[in-house]
Amino acid sequence: MSDLKTMSPAELDLATLIVNTLTLETAPEDIDPDAALYGEGLGLDSIDILEVALAVSKTYGVKLRADDENNTRIFTSLRTLNDHIQQLKAA
């Protein structure tokens, strides 16, 4: 992991959830928190994103809706997804 791309404990927990949910061959701590989740970067597809959304809902007790107009922004990176989860949990 690069020193410039350090993860918060919450981001590492989310990265671990993503790796375990999708059985990725990447170590959670090797995920760049600012890299794209979809397509380039981590390389997830729409089915992967749906699986992640379900796992996030179950694990964190927050609802991520498929029809949310902000999904492109929410799922931009691990960091933006974590920020969104933290906002929902605080609400």
3-state DSSP assignment of residue 25: coil
Q: Which of 27, 24, 29 is nearest to 8 (CA)?
A: 29
Q: Which domains does the chain have, with CATH numbers?
A: 3-90 (1.10.1200.10)
pLDDT tens by residue, the chain, 91 residues: 444 568 999 999 999 999 999 999 999 999 999 999 998 889 999 999 999 999 999 999 999 988 889 999 999 999 999 999 999 999 8
Measured CA to CA in angstroms, residue 13 lies from 2, 18, 59, 75, 85 at distances of 18, 9, 10, 16, 12
Rounded CA-CA distance 30/15 in Å is 9
pTM of the model: 0.90
